[in-house]
Chain A
């Protein structure tokens, strides 16, 4: 029975795919933001979008289950490349299921994802609208803080090893939009691991923590390092909604707004900074 399922590619029904599986949390959020969440039949374990709570899980973002995915008889599987899901994705493709690969590294990747997902689901107008709205809200955030002096910012995504946000990332773009200057903009790669002394030397004004660590851990990490302006001024902050910052999804303007408030506390938040739809 399993062999038969793997051997014959199912016929792709005409029209936009009705059974969609999302293997990444950011993709799940995009699909719901496009208004076609009802087409999802399965999501990955880390997809925490509330509306998808009742959907079956098909394994992890890092290691999706090929069997669980195929058992849902999807017409389309949308995937973000992760270290570890390459083989699973290949297996799904070999079984004849259509796979759409989207990237999640930069802001441009986000626009491309929205465009590609909306095209694959046959809702291009909704995609254009979503993209435009997100861009508008980002512009709004940027306009609010434009012209103000930019604080030096360190964004941390891991405590041990200490990993920061580097250039060429969505997160770096968000920092810039929120009016901050990433102190690690000259790092060779997107996720530089750092020695503490580099942090001391770069002397950020604000340290933003988007890691899985705890509040206590964050403060212990920078204990005794009051020469760092951020530590001295008490501007070492855990992001309340780290996922919005880390995922290339529809919540990036929320993340940008949160950052802007942190970087420029004197600028009041406006309604435009909050999401129009949830």
Chain B
């Protein structure tokens, strides 16, 4: 018996299976939509509406859903490990709030919702939030999960208050723009944007991956990890920054989409075990597929009207989260 421990082979096999599932999901999502499209027509004539729908509106959107879902889920997995809480979500630490506030400011200042200035401003907000939460939670040269959680939650509350304030003072139509941040939107046509975000996310994932073994060691106790040679402080800092950068980028381009970063890692951990070397990359692939499907549902459920994708993830994730919470509480009581 080879045992259930993780090997490079097992990682490759798991990633392979999930990658195939993701590819199938992407193909299916491109085929499904509120409008009936003919693939043959699309391939035959590049100037047909079918082509425009498939390759100018659906495919970019599906790809963006994939990379955003993957970023949120893998960051969620890492942050759950960092905070030592399997029910933590990536929006908890205020990074998303910082991005949203900065993005709304850009909108109020007159930027168009679809201009690249908005995601850039939002990303700046995310960086600011990372700096504030990261530095604010350092005490005596140490960054404990407890401190990060506290400072992050406070910052989150401040950001939420700021958003409500901005919402109250903007005009009615500007308020629609604020909705984008709170509900999320994956609509895009820019392959350049997708390529940029994907490259960035892959770097972020790779960086996170280098710390997954250390996250395992940390999970078995801080003192134990220290004596096994782990630089715990550096690991925590790195994971916090890498995961936050992933979340910041995702939120900057698509607003706050909840539950992906909470549900997907948790499900995968239940199925694949607690080893972060598997859970983090699996979360990337699984989160990508999850959001692709959620966005497909958002596009088609009430055709021709489109639901905000955040509503779909909340409806899918909310009841599931309650179920998980009950399970967690029952186990804690035992």
Contact = CB atoms under 8 A, between A and B. Distances in A.
Interface of A: 45-46, 60-63, 82, 84, 157-163, 184, 186-189, 192-198, 200-203, 211-214, 216-218, 220-221, 223-228, 242, 246
Given A46-B171, A201-B53, A226-B47, A159 B306 contact: no
**A-B complex: 7 closest residue pairs judged by Cβ atoms:** A217-B112, A160-B113, A63-B168, A214-B112, A201-B35, A196-B57, A158-B176
Interface of B: 33-35, 37, 47-49, 51-53, 56-58, 61, 110-115, 167-177, 179-180, 183, 185, 187, 189, 299, 302-308
Contacts of B305: 187-189, 192-194
A91 B68 CA distance: 44
B96 to A, nearest CB: 17
A230 to B, nearest CB: 13
Nearest to A83: B175
Nearest to B114: A217
A46 B168 CA distance: 12
B173 A157 contact: yes
A218 B114 CA distance: 8
B57 A197 contact: yes
A136 to B, nearest CB: 29
Contacts of B37: 197
B187 A162 contact: yes
B49 A82 contact: no
A37 B51 CA distance: 55
B299 A213 contact: no
Nearest to A186: B304
29 contacts: A60-B170, A61-B172, A158-B173, A158-B177, A162-B306, A184-B304, A188-B305, A189-B305, A192-B304, A194-B304, A195-B34, A196-B57, A197-B33, A197-B37, A197-B299, A198-B35, A198-B303, A200-B35, A200-B56, A203-B49, A212-B171, A212-B176, A214-B112, A216-B112, A221-B114, A224-B56, A224-B189, A225-B52, A242-B173
A82 B173 CA distance: 12
Given A197-B58, A201-B35, A224-B56, A84 B168 contact: yes
B35 A197 contact: yes
Contacts of A225: 52, 56-57, 189
Contacts of B306: 161-162, 192-195, 198
Contacts of A196: 56-57, 61, 187, 189
- Interface of A, helix, strand, loop or mixed by DSSP: loop
A159 B49 contact: no
B220 to A, nearest CB: 45
A46 B52 CA distance: 39
A62 B170 CA distance: 8
B180 A198 contact: no
A151 B52 CA distance: 22
A220 B172 contact: no
A192 B187 CA distance: 15
A196 B196 CA distance: 22
Given A201-B53, A203-B49, A193 B58 contact: no
Contact of B299 (A195, A211, A223): A195
B59 to A, nearest CB: 11
Nearest to A231: B52
A227 B304 contact: no
Given A194-B305, A197-B58, A161 B185 contact: yes
A201 B48 CA distance: 11
B113 A159 contact: yes
Given A161-B183, A197-B57, A212 B47 contact: no
A213 B48 CA distance: 28
A198 B34 contact: yes
A195 B49 contact: no
Contacts of B169: 45, 60, 63
B119 to A, nearest CB: 11
Contact of A60 (B48, B168, B307): B168
Nearest to B179: A161
B236 to A, nearest CB: 36
A197 B58 CA distance: 7
A224 B191 CA distance: 12
B57 A200 contact: yes
A211 B115 contact: no
Contacts of B34: 195, 197-198, 201
B52 A224 contact: yes
